[in-house]
Chain A
């Protein structure tokens, strides 16, 4: 409970407050997400108390989720895949004049799920830590490989593009002096690179510059309109129909978030399907059923809390915001991993306490303020995206005051643009940058322990289990397609070996007329 004492100091409360406000704002604003917001704030936190900064980031993390659901309900513009499901029923409710109820069930559901999820985090994380401290380097290495493989191969839609992104990330992580041998890798004799690429610069470049350039190249010009809302409220019937979906959504969300694979898409989808099946009003689904908002929203937030379990207990981030938060800890010289709880108990508990506080603040602020957030959407786009570029440059420059950092920012920012242009997922890259060096360290430790024997890699039972799991995850699609082919369906095994998602269809561009247009124009210019 010392955590609450630390988090409840006036200054930390202020940071928590700033965090949730900022988080909700970036969640509502188009084009900015919590990962970008945290990345942009990294440089500002150099002079700050580590716990205060972390408390603010936690507020942004939870607030961003909340803001995202607001826009998906009011405008049907889900900013991230996790809120796609919310938009289905939520926007229908808003169109039917029940926006207030949709916002209310989302807000209260997020609060319930976030609180239960954080409580689960408190109970589960120490158990994971206790288990994790007993693990040696081989198991750690295996867990890190698992995290990278799942994020790369299981979550994305195209495995090849996922691995390409991972490779680029790992390559960026390699840059600099090798800590063991003192050799310089990929520095090309360029002095500013010897210390490695500043994680702040990489994060800001990928999340802020890359995203801003991508949006700038495809600027939407037609305005949408919000449905005018009053303050969110719910009637008795709404409460009756919401509370069970909240709890079920939480039950789906937390475990999926806590797995090293992370991801909120699966639990929100499962929650939606379940609610549809259990509902007494299945005919309302697709026309604005409140259960379809309550369940997935709760699942989304519970999974966000779950994601913090591997991050705090193992030092393993599984989503973009957690990755940037972890980068912040490393930057502050704090070693993430199972020893975090032992070495920095004050920090960890203050962070967890601030999650409870932030959640409550979100509910208190957002119930009355929802109509105000909708006003944020009226910021003209030129100012919004020019602002992102401005603050990104400011942030990256202020770290070392080196113009070289700005060149790196631009180059990696252009890489970030290319990722989005060629359909490469961003998450494997950023995890590669952060986890890559950590994994290399564990790999070397493993071989040190085994005196160079390769068998050292599978010297721990858990490591063996994980490698089997990885193999299953990688081979499963191939097996499925082989079975399918044996049954005589047309899908070729080679297609699966190449790993591209069959569900994406052979010619995705046919579904989107005009999309090919863009590429062909780009091609013309590239040729000329």
Chain B
């Protein structure tokens, strides 16, 4: 482990501590802006818990920053299918998030069948699926199946979008 790598690692974790601190401050500011009319029935009021929560967040962010500075760094969560010997793969992650966002942008316009198909196909491709035809067939089957399954089985009507006359 080189000094440089550790220093960088520290900086990322400090950023996370800063995030915690910001959330804590937001909770505090939000609570302080609540209007409270004192009543015998509700002595604690709506402010008390938010103050406690912001306290927990701020204190833990400071404590986290201190431990990180002392070199006590986080270990990523292990899992059955997680390979921590590899670096976080942003080339998989960012497109995946992009596809998710694309889906939520077009779901109402294009309808679930189309947006769902695109999402599954895109996600599987990002994750390394290379059998195009098979992937497309699975995507379509899942999207169509869930659309009709929800409609017929649960009575939930997912948006049909531009295909609304067809489906």
Q: Do A and B come from one complex?
A: yes
Interface residues of A (CB under 8 A from B): 30-31, 44, 46-47, 71, 77-79, 158, 160-161, 163-164, 166-168, 170-171, 174, 178, 180-181, 183, 185-186, 188, 211, 213-221, 380-383, 385-387, 389-391, 393-394, 397-398, 401, 403, 406-407, 410, 414, 418-424, 436, 440, 443-444, 447-448, 451-452, 498-500, 504, 506-510, 512-527
Give every chain B residue within 8 A of A217 (Cβ-Cβ). Answer: 88-90, 92-93
- Tell me, in angstroms, the Cα distance from A178 to B44 when the chains sit together: 12
What is the CB-to-nearest-CB distance from A518 to chain B, in angstroms, rounded to a whole number? 3
- Tell me, in angstroms, the Cα distance from A403 to B101 when the chains sit together: 10
What is the CB-to-nearest-CB distance from A79 to chain B, in angstroms, rounded to a whole number? 4
Q: A218 with B88: in contact, given A77-B80, A163-B56, A387-B120 (CB under 8 Å)?
A: yes
Give every chain A residue within 8 A of B164 (Cβ-Cβ). Answer: none
What is the CB-to-nearest-CB distance from B54 to chain A, in angstroms, rounded to a whole number? 8
Q: A500 contacts B67, CB within 8 Å?
A: yes
Q: A220 contacts B82, CB within 8 Å?
A: yes
- A–B Cβ pairs within 8 angstroms, 25 of them: A31-B82, A46-B154, A171-B27, A180-B42, A214-B77, A215-B82, A217-B88, A381-B81, A382-B129, A383-B129, A386-B123, A389-B100, A389-B120, A393-B100, A397-B158, A418-B19, A423-B75, A423-B76, A423-B77, A448-B41, A509-B9, A512-B75, A514-B84, A519-B88, A526-B15
Interface bits B137-167 vs A (CB < 8 Å: 1, else 0) = 0100010001000100011101100000000
Give every chain B residue within 8 A of A394 (Cβ-Cβ). Answer: 112, 116, 146, 150, 158
Give every chain B residue within 8 A of A160 (Cβ-Cβ). Answer: 60, 63-64, 67
Q: A403 contacts B104, CB within 8 Å?
A: yes
Give every chain B residue within 8 A of A518 (Cβ-Cβ). Answer: 76, 84, 86-88
- Tell me, in angstroms, the Cα distance from A398 to B112 when the chains sit together: 10
- Tell me, in angstroms, the Cα distance from A252 to B75 when the chains sit together: 30
Q: B9 contacts A418, CB within 8 Å?
A: no
Give every chain B residue within 8 A of A440 (Cβ-Cβ). Answer: 44, 49
- Tell me, in angstroms, the Cα distance from A490 to B110 when the chains sit together: 64
Q: A397 contacts B92, CB within 8 Å?
A: no
Q: Which of B90-137 contact A (CB under 8 A)?
A: 90, 92-93, 96-97, 100-101, 103-105, 107-108, 112, 116, 119-120, 123-129, 135
Give every chain B residue within 8 A of A423 (Cβ-Cβ). Answer: 74-77
Q: A515 contacts B75, CB within 8 Å?
A: yes
Candidates A170, A386, A499, A520; contact of B9 at CB < 8 Å: A520
The residue on A at minimum CB distance from B24 is: A167
Q: Pick the most buried of A166, A211, A423, A518: most chain B CB atoms within 10 A of its CB.
A: A518
Q: How many residues of B contact A (CB 8 A)?
A: 96
Give every chain A residue within 8 A of B76 (Cβ-Cβ). Answer: 214, 218, 420-423, 515, 518
Give every chain A residue within 8 A of B11 (Cβ-Cβ). Answer: 523, 526-527
Q: A183 with B35: in contact, given A47-B154, A390-B116, A519-B5 (CB under 8 Å)?
A: yes
Give every chain B residue within 8 A of A185 (Cβ-Cβ). Answer: 30-31, 34, 46, 50
Q: A451 with B79: in contact, given A507-B71, A515-B84, A517-B5 (CB under 8 Å)?
A: no
Give every chain A residue within 8 A of B82 (Cβ-Cβ). Answer: 31, 214-215, 218, 220
- Tell me, in angstroms, the Cα distance from A215 to B124 when the chains sit together: 13
Q: B107 contacts A389, CB within 8 Å?
A: no
Tell me the number of A-to-B contacts counted with CB atoms below 8 Å.
Answer: 304
Q: B97 contacts A186, CB within 8 Å?
A: no
The residue on B at minimum CB distance from A450 is: B43
Give every chain B residue within 8 A of A444 (Cβ-Cβ). Answer: 42-44
Q: B77 contacts A420, CB within 8 Å?
A: yes
Candidates B97, B126, B129, B154; contact of A44 at CB < 8 Å: B154
Candidates B6, B27, B67, B120; contact of A390 at CB < 8 Å: B120
Q: Which of B26-62 contact A (CB under 8 A)?
A: 26-27, 30-31, 34-37, 40-46, 48-50, 52-54, 56-57, 59-61
7 A-B pairs with least C-beta separation: A423-B74, A518-B87, A523-B8, A30-B81, A386-B123, A382-B129, A382-B127
Q: A170 contacts B75, CB within 8 Å?
A: no
Q: Is the interface of A mostly helix, strand, loop or mixed?
A: helix
Give every chain A residue within 8 A of B158 (Cβ-Cβ). Answer: 394, 397-398, 401
Give every chain B residue within 8 A of A519 (Cβ-Cβ). Answer: 5, 8-9, 12, 73, 87-88
What is the CB-to-nearest-CB distance from A131 to chain B, in angstroms, rounded to a whole number? 26
Give every chain B residue within 8 A of A499 (Cβ-Cβ). Answer: 63
Q: A31 contacts B31, CB within 8 Å?
A: no
Candidates B13, B45, B73, B129; contact of A181 at CB < 8 Å: B45
- Tell me, in angstroms, the Cα distance from A386 to B71 when the chains sit together: 36
Give every chain A residue within 8 A of B56 (Cβ-Cβ). Answer: 163, 166-167, 170
The residue on A at minimum CB distance from B39 is: A181
- Tell me, in angstroms, the Cα distance from A504 to B43 when the chains sit together: 43
Q: B36 contacts A393, CB within 8 Å?
A: no
Q: B57 contacts A164, CB within 8 Å?
A: yes
- Tell me, in angstroms, the Cα distance from A508 to B1 when the chains sit together: 11
Interface bits B1-24 vs A (CB < 8 Å: 1, else 0) = 100111011011101100110011
Q: A403 contacts B107, CB within 8 Å?
A: yes
Q: A71 contacts B80, CB within 8 Å?
A: yes
- Tell me, in angstroms, the Cα distance from A74 to B134 when the chains sit together: 29
- Tell me, in angstroms, the Cα distance from A521 to B52 when the chains sit together: 36
Give every chain B residue within 8 A of A498 (Cβ-Cβ). Answer: 63, 66-67
Q: A381 with B6: in contact, given A410-B97, A513-B1 (CB under 8 Å)?
A: no
Q: A508 with B73: in contact, given A389-B123, A407-B104 (CB under 8 Å)?
A: yes
Give every chain B residue within 8 A of A436 (Cβ-Cβ). Answer: 49, 53
Q: B159 contacts A508, CB within 8 Å?
A: no
Q: A163 contacts B60, CB within 8 Å?
A: yes
Give every chain B residue within 8 A of A398 (Cβ-Cβ). Answer: 150, 154, 156, 158
Q: A447 with B49: in contact, given A382-B129, A393-B100 (CB under 8 Å)?
A: no
Q: Pick the most buried of A30, A393, A421, A526: most chain B CB atoms within 10 A of its CB.
A: A393
Give every chain A residue within 8 A of B20 (Cβ-Cβ). Answer: 164, 167-168
Q: B40 contacts A403, CB within 8 Å?
A: no
- Tell me, in angstroms, the Cα distance from A219 to B85 when the chains sit together: 10
What is the CB-to-nearest-CB distance from A26 to chain B, in angstroms, rounded to a whole number? 11
- Tell me, in angstroms, the Cα distance from A394 to B80 when the chains sit together: 25
What is the CB-to-nearest-CB distance from A513 to chain B, in angstroms, rounded to a whole number? 7
- Tell me, in angstroms, the Cα distance from A186 to B129 when the chains sit together: 41
Give every chain B residue within 8 A of A391 (Cβ-Cβ). Answer: 146
